[in-house]
Amino acid sequence: MVAEWHTSSYSGGNNECVEVREHSTGADVRDTQHRDDAQLTFLAAEWRNFLAQVQRRGR
């Protein structure tokens, strides 16, 4: 089962960010303003690495 798309918590509600859909094999990322265009797909390990890097830089 694939989760629903959700907007990044960093978007501030201005619709100029990305949406993420996490699932058992990883995550998909798309532009909130161009939802019908291509999306990026990350494997679970890649997505975990990305999130860890973002969290480290946010401190």
Q: Summarize pLDDT for 9-54 with one digit per residue, the tens.
A: 766 666 678 899 999 999 999 998 898 999 999 999 999 999 999 8
Q: Identify any residues that bridge with 43 across adjacent strands, giving them in sequence order.
A: 26
Question: Who's near 2: CB < 8 A, 6+ residues apart?
Answer: 21, 23
pLDDT (0 to 100) of residue 40: 95
pTM, entire model: 0.78
